Chain A
Amino acid sequence: MPVHDWKGQKVWQLRTQRESLAHWVMWLVGVAIFAYCWQQISQATTWAFVWDAPRIAGDIWTRATPPRWEYITQLGEPIWDTLNIATMGTIISLILAVPVAFLAARNTTPSALFIRPIALLIIVSTRSINSLIWALLLIAIIGPGVFAGVIAIAIRSIGFCAKLLYEAIEEIDETQVEAITATGASRWQVMAYGIVPQILPAFAGIAVFRWDINIRESTVLGLVGAGGIGLQLSASLNILAWPQVALILLVILAAVVISEWVSAKVRGAII
């Protein structure tokens, strides 16, 4: 117990002197790094604009209200596209994620030394790059449109779904698998009757969860030209049609809230 003498009395301390010194140095370094970061941001900022910000915000608010309600007739198709991008993207990504997850899980991988690292690499690299960047890339490759959005969402979701799925596979009850194996089942039968039933609830949960996230992400994919309601948003922003922007933002907000509600309901029903 760290105790130090103070005028002949023993006083209890939380940390020893060395520990508290290390603690202070850590804090000092942290604060210094933060101060440096803040100074860099401050240098790159035109502060006159910032002081002016409340007025500009008020100005935008007066321009944007009331939203242009009649514009909603033109939003039907973009919303349908957005829904399609999210749903198709999720389906494609699940089809691709299942084999990756089985290859990445410690208990099902055919080779922990060679194939597992490759599967993990796929998971990390698809997960660490945002869907907007995937969309940018795919637009450069296959041209703008809904299709690029679908593929961007699909690629981005592989890592997420595969990661959650392989964790679920690693947590299965081995005794059930053993029981199926003991009946003389082949490798694929073990898979179908021993492993799949155990991960099916997790799988359904992941699918709905990712679908919810994908709805969110597909609403903004149009900003880079990959279809959906984001196209309308960027067009309206470019011509400074703030009442239209306000309406689109409201629609996006509604879509996000509804999809979250649906996914919460479905997950509640499954789990």
Chain B
Amino acid sequence: MTTLDQKLGQPWKKPPFIQRAWLRWGLLLGFAAYLIAAFLTIEVNWSRVYEGLERGKQFILAFTSPDFVTRSGDIWEGMLESIIMTVAASVIGIAISIPIALGAARNVAPLPVYLICRSIIAISRALQEIIVAILLVAIFGFGPLAGFLTLSFATIGFLSKLLAEDIESMDRVQAEAIKASGASWLQWINYGVQPQVMPRLIGLSMYRIDINFRESAILGLVGAGGIGATLNTSFDRYEYDTAAAILLIIIVIVMALEYLSGIIRARVQ
């Protein structure tokens, strides 16, 4: 123990973030060693990068004069398909994730149901959208159906997990009051649980729609429909002005969705 007398007269020093000295230095040294190793193994073709700077400049300049017109047909079709996939997948995904969320909440579901639902969530969260999309394209063929299924599957993992956590942390008193009035299980869920988690469900759904739209923009890379295919083609053909136009549309839609979800969340909470 350091007493006040010992500390008096000593200049003050900022306390370190990690208290134990050996751990602090060990972590720092290990991290530095790793960084050096990583730097050494990354091969950078600097002449290629230097050549690329010119193209990079062109791309940035393309943002000042995006070309919405030349490929407007392709852009419109791709965007519409992305939006359609987003809407359909969000609706189905949210509809499926509600019962799974109920099953994955320990205070609502019995243990066997809880374990099954939790494992569904774990599988859905561990697999990335793009990998699921590759497999589903191989199984169902090219087109928006594979993208729709991918996004629905991903929505289930995300929404069920967060909703289940919300259900688990709900206020027991209200739910018990409904139960005490002689409500059936369904009535108990509908009047005791649902009103408590509804604001969170709406907020999460809006957020997930936003994510689904962003993800739908890349599913086209593996043939699962949406704007990604058009974007990929325009990069491959070095048509930066078209690519810039597509990226700008994506950014604007995402911003609009975020703004909208902000308004809706403010209203329900």
Contact = CB atoms under 8 A, between A and B. Distances in A.
Contact of A130 (B41, B85, B127, B214): B214
B221 A124 contact: no
Contacts of B148: 41
Interface string A32-70: 011011101110111001100100110010000000000
Interface residues on A, range: 35 or more
Contacts of B238: 140
Main secondary structure of the interface of B (DSSP, over half): helix
A88 B39 CA distance: 9
A147 interface: yes
Interface centre among A40, A130, A224 (most CB of B within 10 A): A130
Interface in A173-212: 193, 200, 204
Interface centre among B218, B250, B251 (most CB of A within 10 A): B218
Interface in B207-224: 214-215, 217-218, 221-222
B225 A44 contact: yes
Interface in B243-265: 243, 247, 250-251, 254-255, 258
Interface string B113-142: 000000000000011101100110011110
Interface string A247-258: 001001100110
A80 interface: yes
Contact of B258 (A124, A219, A223): A124
B141 A253 contact: no
A1 interface: no
Contacts of A91: 35
Contact of B134 (A34, A44, A237): A237
A173 B122 CA distance: 38
A132 B84 contact: no
Interface of B: 14, 17, 34-35, 38, 41-45, 48-49, 52-53, 55-56, 59, 80-81, 84-85, 87-88, 91, 126-128, 130-131, 134-135, 138-141, 143-145, 148, 214-215, 217-218, 221-222, 225, 228, 231-232, 235-236, 238, 243, 247, 250-251, 254-255, 258
Given A41-B88, A141-B52, 5 more contacts: A45-B140, A50-B145, A129-B247, A132-B221, A143-B49
